[in-house]
Amino acid sequence: MKEKLDRLNAIIAEISDIGDAMALLGWDQETYMPTGGAETRGQVSATLGRLVHERATSDEVGKLLEALVPWSQSELKEDSDEFRIIKNTKRGYDQQVKIPAAMIEERAKLQAAGNIAWREARQNDDWAKFEPYMDKWVDFVKRTADLFKPYDHPYDVLLDFFEPNMKTADVKVIFDGIRPSQVELIDAISKKPEVDDSVLHLHYDRATQLKMGEEVSKAFGFDYNRGRQDEVHHPFASNLGYGDQRITYRVDENFFNPYFFGNAHETGHALYEQGVPKEKHRTALYGATSLAIHESQSRLWENLVGRSKPFWEWYFPTLQKQFPAALGNVKMDTFYRAINKVKPSLIRVEADEATYNLHIMLRLEIEIGLVEGSISVKDLPEVWNTRFKEYLGITPPNNAQGVLQDVHWSFGLYGYFATYALGNLVSAQLWEKITQANPNLPDQIRKGDFSHLLGWLRENIHVHGSKYEPQELVQRVTGTKIDGAPYVKYLQTKFGEIYGL
């Protein structure tokens, strides 16, 4: 069986190489590609996507798995890398073999064209520009779900691509469990005097912001010899293979938050990828295990570290020196309260911790409605505004700040949004375990020492790559599956202190 396993690993390595090339093309499309290249880029990506699909679902892979799966179940330990390689490959094979190659090409072309249309639509507040592509995407994801019948719910199919074996019903139960507490907290905060965050809306020089961001990401542990950062419309982190992790950013010279916290967020993603051991590269164990686990890393660095009091007790004096005009006479506590101000806002990526999950629940509800057919694309701006008012108490003034604000739908990432809120919950579960194992963590952060924190994440999360399924990994590390209670407790404690609740 060793020869068969070696052959399977060789095929996986080839697929990984093509995947890395596709990731590079995707990163370039978002950063430097001229808009006129969209059609050609779509064709190239479609061809590469088809080649990956053909290789991953080939008769050879199917026959190798037919021999290796029963062998692994009878001869290998379930916790061994070899067992997990075969298991992960079988899962991917079973998933991809149901999707025709023509749909892989269709998806790649629609991603390239749809993203360019979204950029123009958002820039010009022109829903009509993007609506035809939204129609195409909803039709595409419905057809994709149909390939996987029977199912408990069509949305299960889409969710499973990003969060293996997570069901729509499971997510609803988790969200229903935390929504009342979050709404209650927001309501209690709304009765308190509003925090003055005007200090965040002064002038912050672009070049200095970039210097600051690089300084902080290096302090967290990001290795710039194995990564870089570039500007985009909508920030993201991209893994182009071992030793090449890209951070992207957006800068607003008149608002402190977007760059600083966006950079901390994307650094968290990149740290995860940089922490997966080299020997897992070009194998079925490389990369993150799921989007929720990935998001747990980015939200941990962005919020539990980047918005914490110990962090600013360390870094605020440096920040004052970098922006003396804006912050020279500002007290640290004033700044700390400002960056943690709770107030319903229009833009998800700029939302505070207490209201953020409501943005996700709104999007999940809309996506489920689109897939079920209870919401039509033509009505989406109206539906968005109505439900945004219900969830957050405000109405977007235009579509650019409303239904067009996120890039995900232009790429066909339906089933993705729930992972953001799930990641929030996991981040708090992990934080409880980290602080139990390392009670001195706050003092370490006050000194700008993040090595112990990163070391714990490396040892408990990053080292495994995608060896374990997400719920399995969370249970191994925390003792329970994804649970909202630690996150609610974290919010209540933090904002109870800030607002005197």
Q: Which residues are catalytic?
A: 266
Q: For 302, which DSSP code?
A: I
DSSP readout, 37-61?
GHHHHHHHHHHHHHHHHHHHT-HHH
d(CA 395, CA 386): 7
Report which of 136, 116, 121, 117 is spatially closest to residue 398, judged by C-alpha positions.
121
**Buried b vs exposed e over 109-146: b needs ≥16 C-beta within 10 Å?**
bbbbbbbbbbbebbeeeebebbbebbebbbebbbebbe
Report which of 174, 179, 183, 182 is spatially closest to residue 483, judged by C-alpha positions.
174
d(CA 178, CA 170): 13
d(CA 38, CA 338): 41
Q: List the beta bridge partners of residue 237.
A: 247
Strand ordering across the sheet containing 237-239: 227-231, 245-249, 237-239
Whether the CB-CB separation of 292 and 298 falls below 8 Å is answered with no
Cα–Cα–Cα angle for 293, 296, 297, rounded to 5 degrees: 100
Number of C-beta neighbours around residue 374 at 10 A = 10
Cα–Cα–Cα angle for 86, 88, 89, rounded to 5 degrees: 65
Q: Hey, what amino acid is at 356?
A: Y
Cis? peptide before 150, omega within 30° of 0: yes
d(CA 23, CA 110): 16
d(CA 455, CA 185): 33
Whether the CB-CB separation of 405 and 397 falls below 8 Å is answered with no
How far does the chain reach from its first CA to its final CA, in angstroms?
A: 63
DSSP readout, 303-348?
IIITTSHHHHHHHHHHHHHHSHHHHTT--HHHHHHHHT-----S-G
Q: Hey, what amino acid is at 102?
A: A
What is the residue whose two structure tokens read 């079973």?
94
